[in-house]
Each structure stands twice: as C-alpha cells, then as structure tokens.
Amino acid sequence: MALKSDSKIIIVGAGVFGLSTALYLSKRGYSNIHIFDRQPYDKNGYAFLQGADAASADENKILRASYADRILYQNLAFEAMGEWQKWNESIASAAPVDLPAGLSPETMLWNQCGYLRLSEHGLDESEKQTQKNFPAEMGHTQYRVTNKQRRADAARDGIPATKIDPFGRLERGLPVDGILDMTAGFVLASRACTFTLHLCRKAGVHASFGPEHALKSLNRSGINVTGIETSDGTHHSADLVIVACGGWTPSILPQVEELLETTSGSVLSIRLPQDRRDLWAKYAPEQFPVWDWNMGDYVPFQNIGGIYGFPRTPEGVIKIAFRGAKWTNYSRESSTGQPLSYPKTDATKVPQEAMRVIRAFCAENLPDLLALDLEYERLCWYTDSVNNSFLIDYVPGTEGLVVASGGSGHGFKFLPVREHVVDVIERKDTEYTRLFSWRDVPGGKRNGLEEGPEGWRRLDKQRLAGKEQWKAASKL
C-alpha cells in the first residue's frame, strides 16, 4: 500500500532513530505522525542522571567522518557536519523562549574540537584507509602527531599543542603515533534529542511518552501490521508502524534476531570539582580533543585498547568509555525460543576488565583523574548489526512494518541527515537505502554475533568493579 501524506504513521521509540525519522517524515510532508515511548523524555530531558534509559540519553557522542573504506558513511558524516553546523547557528540566533528547557542560545550542540586517534606504533590499517579516502582538499585538517612539520603547522594554524599531545606522551618520550583530525569532534547527545523533539512538536508530530504509552504488542492481521496496543490497553491503528527501539528491538521483532545483537559499552564518568579550575581549563574542548587509544588493537585481559574519551562538558563532566569488549546479557528467550541478549540497564557496575583498561590508561596518561571520584559507571546498551551497517528497511514477510535500528555504536551523528530513512519508507532505491537494507546472515565472522550466548562477553561471566576500585589508592 502506498503511503499518502495523511497516512497514519506510528513510530515506537523516541531515541535518535525514532526522533529523527519523525522529523524527516514531517519535513517530507507527512502530517499524521505519532511517536510513542515508555520513557518520559519530555520530563527528564533525555538526561541519564534524571533516569533516561537509552543509548541516545548520553552526555556526548563522537562526530567524525573517519570511516576507512566505507565511503558512503564517510560522505554522509561530512554532510551531517554541515547540518549540525546549521543547528548550531539556528540555536545561537534563537530567542531563549523559542528553545526547549535545557538549551540556551549558548548551547553548542556540535563542537568541532578535533579527534585524536592514537596508538603506540604507526597508523593502523583503518586509519591509513581513512587518510587515503578523505577528500584531498581536507589534507590540511589532518595532523600526524609524529611529524614535526605537521606539529609546527598545527601551531601555525592556532591549534593548542595540548590537542596533539594531551597525554604528554611525545613530551615524555613514550611510544605514540596517530592523527589529530580537525574535521571531527563531538555532539551533545541528550540536548540534541531534546532539540529534535522540540522541532518535531513544532512540526505537529504527536508525542505520547510515559509508562502508560509503552508498546505492549503489535496488532497484526495476517501479514499486515495494523497498529499497536500500548500498556494502558489502548489500541492505536496505523497505516505504517516503525520500530526504533534500540537495544530492545530484537526482543520486539524476532525477525531481526540473527541480524542484530544487543550489546553494551562500558562508560565511566567523572565530574570535575568546582574548585579545580586547573582541571576545568585543561579538559576544556578549546584545549583538549576527543581521543581514542588502540581502537583496533585490544587483546582481552592483556593490553590497553578499545577506549575513547571526551573533553569536559559545559557542566564539567568527563566521559571515558571502553568498547574493546561489547558485553552481552543473554537473559531472555525470544518468541521463537532463541536465547536473546537484552539490555540490563539498571547495572551500576561495569566489568572489571573495562575498569582495568581505563584505569591503566589513566594511570599512565591522565593520572589527575584517578585522584577524583567516579560519578557513575554505566553500561550503555545498543544494537550491533552483523556488518555494522544500520538496519532500516521493511521487515520481510510483513506489510506495514519498518525497522530502524542497528546503530552499531556509530548512529547518533547522523541525526540531522535522516531523509534516507524516508526514502526507505517510500521504497526509493538509492545507494543509502541499499546500504541500510535487510541483509542475509553472512557465514563466518559476523561482528561477534556468531559467538551468541557461548561468547566470553556475557555479563554473567564477568567480575564487576565497583566505584571504589577507581581511586589511585585502591588495587585491582
């Protein structure tokens, strides 16, 4: 059935995939859009510390176009940067009363502070491909940290030396190599969601948030999905239902079980004390970049790698995350009887291996943080797809049902370039609708999904580390 501009479209899930889909559907002229979420995002402002529970509810996310040989994603990321810039400008020029709570004209959703990708020796294969595939005219934005000439160029370009050597490794003669990529930086995630929700509402999207509006079931008639039932017992009919439920998607749609796995990264947060102006200055985005360390070269229980971190937020929060191992929690059974990894979002401890890696890195590179208290430990649950490409398509074997998920840890940055999702919904054939399309389950390695419940990454196979294990005085 072809959609009409007044067809009723229900979106389940108001994280970044659902929100941006609502916004771009309305921009394309659809006028009957309804978004549901069990969480009161309109009240908690997508703030994790206010109880918002989703990967999108986060201080910040990396915005980068470094995608090795995945040129379509690279191009889309550059396009996204332009759109984020427009959002920055429209917020800066808005009257405060026209902005949602939590945002002011000073809010910079997108901060191009630079992204420093480091390892001990040389550039890894993926960085080499990124450097080869970046447009030639962007060469001047890429600074090899071991190249004296490029360091001098950076100084001439007004880039503080601390962005190239924030850990003092060059200065101390410790092994280090990598690229400072000045096209990249971070976006403020929870605030970007709040802003998008605000734009959606202005565009006439209906939002129903809170536990009573949680999805209970999809209403089906044969192969047709005809609407949803929410937990308050209300039936909502729809011409199209879009499921954008992040880490909860596989538990709602058995069809995606073999294509998506719910996994989590480990996040630690530190809030700088108000009286440590030295640290506020050191970790400010003007002085300190987004960084990562040994992203492609982590060996479980052996070395230090697979970690990244951010400059402080405007509120003085520093986030460091470990994604070398992506934890699973095969605690559920799917409707087809398969073991299913399911978000375990009330966890207040991360696995000891994540603590070991981040702590060891900080001991060598950011010892001042080890003297401060951890604010929280968090497992950030999301979905990986079998090949790290998003899964946005009609669900095979059904009518009227689209899935938008599989963020694979790199989806947030594309918030303002989601018209491709509308192309999927309108069944257009473009290079992006093909990129996001339903795929066969590959043989062999499948991004870790092949391990399934037998894998070592299961949470119940880990020892967990409490906050007290952070401080320098304690031993792991």
- What gap in Å lies between CA 124 and CA 131, rounded to an integer? 11
Q: Is 399 in the site for ligand NAG (CB under 6 A)?
A: yes
Cα-based distances in Å from 410 to 178, 392, 476: 21, 14, 31
Q: Which residues, numbered 32-51, are part of the site for ligand NAG (CB under 6 A)? A: none
Q: Is 90 in the site for ligand NAG (CB under 6 A)?
A: no
> How distant is the alpha carbon of residue 346 from its chain centre?
19
Residue nearest to ligand NAG (CB): 222
Query: What are the backbone angles phi and psi of residue 352, rounded to the nearest 5°?
Result: -60, -30
- What gap in Å lies between CA 112 and CA 198, rounded to an integer? 24
Q: Is 31 in the site for ligand NAG (CB under 6 A)?
A: no
For the CB of residue 162, give the shortest distance to ligand NAG in the complex, in Å: 18
Nearest to 199 by CA among 418, 406, 39, 12: 418
Query: Of 90 and 146, which has the nearer Cβ to ligand NAG?
Result: 90
Instruction: Specify the DSSP element, H or E, that contains 282.
Output: helix 277-282
Q: Is 401 in the site for ligand NAG (CB under 6 A)?
A: no
Structure tokens at 238: 């729809």
Looking at residue 272, the DSSP 8-state letter turns out to be: P
For the CB of residue 106, give the shortest distance to ligand NAG in the complex, in Å: 7
Q: Is 344 in the site for ligand NAG (CB under 6 A)?
A: yes
Query: Of 1 and 136, which has the nearer Cβ to ligand NAG?
Result: 1
Q: Is 286 in the site for ligand NAG (CB under 6 A)?
A: no
Nearest to 380 by CA among 269, 302, 291: 269
Q: Is 226 in the site for ligand NAG (CB under 6 A)?
A: yes
- State which of residues 7, 31, 88, 255 lies at the interface with ligand NAG (CB under 6 A): 88
For the CB of residue 65, give the shortest distance to ligand NAG in the complex, in Å: 13
Cα torsion angle, 133, 137, 139, 142, sign: negative
Structure tokens at 222: 């044969």
Place of tokens 């859009």: 33
Nearest to 48 by CA among 319, 308, 289: 319
Looking at residue 137, the DSSP 8-state letter turns out to be: G
Q: Is 435 in the site for ligand NAG (CB under 6 A)?
A: yes
Q: Is 234 in the site for ligand NAG (CB under 6 A)?
A: no
- State which of residues 331, 334, 338, 352 lies at the interface with ligand NAG (CB under 6 A): 331
Q: Is 188 in the site for ligand NAG (CB under 6 A)?
A: no
- State which of residues 195, 308, 330, 381 lies at the interface with ligand NAG (CB under 6 A): 330
For the CB of residue 370, give the shortest distance to ligand NAG in the complex, in Å: 25
Structure tokens at 335: 């409707």
- What gap in Å lies between CA 170 and CA 145, rounded to an integer? 8
Q: Which stretch binds ligand NAG (CB under 6 A): 148-156, 252-260, 329-337, 413-421?
A: 329-337
Q: Which stretch binds ligand NAG (CB under 6 A): 52-60, 84-92, 149-157, 306-314?
A: 84-92
Q: Is 231 in the site for ligand NAG (CB under 6 A)?
A: no
Q: Is 219 in the site for ligand NAG (CB under 6 A)?
A: yes
* Single-letter residue type at 156: R
- What gap in Å lies between CA 60 and CA 183, rounded to an integer? 17
- What gap in Å lies between CA 274 and CA 137, rounded to an integer? 42
Helix 71-92 to helix 189-202 angle (10° resolution) is 70
- In DSSP terms, 221 is beta-bridged to 224
Query: Of 216 and 271, which has the nearer Cβ to ligand NAG?
Result: 216
DSSP string, 297-317: ---TTTS--SEEE-PPPTT-E
Query: Of 172 and 235, which has the nearer Cβ to ligand NAG?
Result: 235
Query: Of 344 and 467, which has the nearer Cβ to ligand NAG?
Result: 344
Q: Is 437 in the site for ligand NAG (CB under 6 A)?
A: yes
Q: Is 460 in the site for ligand NAG (CB under 6 A)?
A: yes
**Contact track, ligand NAG, 347-386, x by CB under 6 A:** x---------------------------------------
Q: Which residues bind ligand NAG (CB under 6 A)?
A: 1, 70, 85, 88, 92, 108, 110-112, 219, 221-222, 224, 226-227, 235, 329-331, 344, 347, 387, 389, 399, 434-435, 437, 439, 458-460
